[in-house]
Chains A and B, each alone.
Chain A
Amino acid sequence: MMRLVATLLVLIGLSAGAGMAETIYPDIPKAVGAPHPEGNAYMRINHMRLMRHDRDLTMREGDRSIKYSIKECVACHAVMGPDALPISVKEEGHFCRACHEYAAVKIDCFQCHNSKPEEGFVDLLKQMPPATDDEIQAYLDGMSQ
């Protein structure tokens, strides 16, 4: 607990210093597809719960219409390297790494799952038209029920 308080104090102290704030927060790469209708704040806190729930549905019950699959995460959030190919989690700048390194939380997913999308997947996502404001609003309204 004391450590947490101390860290917070340090964070506050640092962000108060002009120009420092940019350097201590992770640089989160932009995704290519439509934004999460739940909002980024929700996803930041809950992405692992959503993925864990949906993985059990897919694997155990064969439900392939699920919404949160690691396959789509890594495609939509792919970061391209200098060779214009998606980089793996071993390389700095990978989407998942950006926050996980900052939060010091180890990712186990990529021991088994590929951290790069399969060929062609990212291009397909790019062709996807982004959601309109109305659509996002409708989704959020529905969720609050």
Chain B
Amino acid sequence: MKLPALNNKSERPAELNRREFFKSGAAVASVTLAPGVTLMAFGGEASANADPGKRWGMLIDVNKCSTDCNACVKACSDENGWKLDGHPETDAQWIRKVDLKHKTTGREASLPMMCQHCETPPCVDVCPTGASFKRVDGIVLVDKHICIGCRYCMMACPFKARSFVHEEIEDQKSNAPRGKGTVESCTLCVHRVDAGGIPACVESCSATGHGAMMFGDLNDPNSEIAQALKNYPSMGLRDDLRVNPGVRYTNL
């Protein structure tokens, strides 16, 4: 269930084994010692680790998305504490709206774009430090503790999903640490997902009544999203690259 490196006890420093003791033997003590701490910090129940049996993904129905709606972008920015600062070249862009027009038919469409949480992510392939990584449940993240800000991943991403933090930041959201000199992108609201929730963008999209975004486990054949994917045609963007995005689009 865990990544091999952290499971390998022989490679761990002594404190880490001791720490493991905390998790098992002393679990009762930590509960009685600090009642409510877990409750407060983790929303009522300690969630399980990232589950390798799952693959989190999204399905976006382009027909339901409206050109003049920006609710998902607003929700993401509120949730994760980034904002557009009037510098379109360098501003953070965890999610953005893209308007499309078909050259011959003239059909117009609008859709949200963010990290597509690729199954074989080019950003992870090129990262020299191991900072870009994919969790066992398919969520692609940047470990900002070891990111050196080289920005190879930004070049490698086919979807321009990543941005670089150019300036010092203060007052970050405690769920979304971010700082100067590191690269960032959509985290699929991993802090919410780990607590059993759904990403802020999906929540806000259904709150507007558009309901263009669906979130769920692609691997669970009974999930709403897996059913929808099975029954209706959909596509991953740039399917020719065979990165197999976890975010798919329908009616595009």
Contact = CB atoms under 8 A, between A and B. Distances in A.
Given A67-B22, A145-B21, A62 B145 contact: no
Contacts of B174: 71, 74, 113-114, 117-118
B2 interface: yes
A37 B21 contact: no
Contact of A135 (B29, B47, B180): B29
A59 interface: yes
Nearest to B172: A114
A11 to B, nearest CB: 28
Given A64-B46, A65-B46, A72-B41, A112 B33 contact: no
A129 interface: yes
Contact of A59 (B32, B40, B141, B179): B141
Contact of A88 (B2, B13, B170, B181): B170
Interface in A75-134: 88, 111-114, 116-118, 121, 124-125, 127-129, 131
Contacts of A138: 29, 32
A72 B25 contact: no
B40 A121 contact: yes
Given A34-B34, A65-B38, A112-B179, A60 B143 contact: yes
A65 B32 CA distance: 15
Contacts of A136: 33
Nearest to B178: A112
Contact of A112 (B2, B26, B135, B172): B172
Interface in A46-78: 46, 49-50, 53-57, 59-65, 67, 69, 71-72, 74
A132 B169 CA distance: 40
Interface in B32-79: 32-38, 40-42, 46-47, 49-50
Nearest to B165: A112
Given A57-B6, A64-B47, A125-B40, A114 B171 contact: yes
A109 B29 CA distance: 28
A139 B33 contact: yes
A67 B178 CA distance: 22
Contact of B35 (A61, A113, A116, A129): A129
B207 interface: no
A44 B133 CA distance: 32
Given A50-B19, A57-B6, A60-B143, A113 B50 contact: no
A71 B41 contact: yes
B9 interface: no
A128 B36 contact: yes
Contacts of B13: 49
Interface in B172-201: 172-174, 177-182, 190-191, 194-195
A136 B26 CA distance: 11
A41 interface: no
A1 interface: no
Contacts of A6: none
13 contacts: A50-B19, A53-B15, A53-B19, A65-B23, A67-B23, A71-B174, A112-B177, A112-B179, A118-B173, A121-B40, A125-B37, A129-B35, A139-B26
Interface of B: 2-3, 6, 13, 15-16, 18-19, 21-23, 25-26, 29-30, 32-38, 40-42, 46-47, 49-50, 133, 135-137, 141, 143-145, 168-174, 177-182, 190-191, 194-195
